[in-house]
Structure 1
């Protein structure tokens, strides 16, 4: 998929390239712990993997979706709001993968 050309076609944020010393995260297979998950932010579909900042049951986590066939979905550990937003920021800026 290509990136949008106008603001009306917005599809998400772009992730910076990973830094050489980026923190390597431990990704886990998703475990259904709650009935509903809210996606608070997401990255652009033009880049793989796609990241989603999610909240559920008062906890925050990041979901990573690789555009393989079939798609692979993994999640970070569940965190407090502050730690979840911090992790999201580190991923967006290439400081964590």
Structure 2
């Protein structure tokens, strides 16, 4: 009997035609302590994390490539604003 593991983290919905385009930048160190607070399932090639630290938050995007992962981050926002963008990302209204 083969048991398939189910995904426990959310998947990002298909991007909507009128979605918000996020600015993705090379990561830069501005916060000493950053902690992922939410993330998408690692079964997809692209994984997103909602990261928080120092009263700010941002979204980290990792594209899992064969040779080396490609990591990009959004600008920092106040935590409540970042949570709203995170919800938009999960629903396909932002990418």
* TM-score using structure 1 length: 0.86
Aligned equivalent of 1:78: 76
Structure 1 or 2, whichever has the larger Rg, is: 2
Aligned equivalent of 2:50: 53
1:19 to 13, 16, 19: 16
Ranges in structure 1 where 5+ consecutive residues have no aligned partner: none
- How many residues align structurally? 91
Per-residue displacement from partner, 1:47-94 (whole Å, max 9, x unpaired)? 121000000111010000001131111101100111100000000000
What is the alpha-carbon root mean square deviation over aligned residues?
1.5
Aligned equivalent of 1:40: 37
Ranges in structure 2 where 5+ consecutive residues have no aligned partner: none
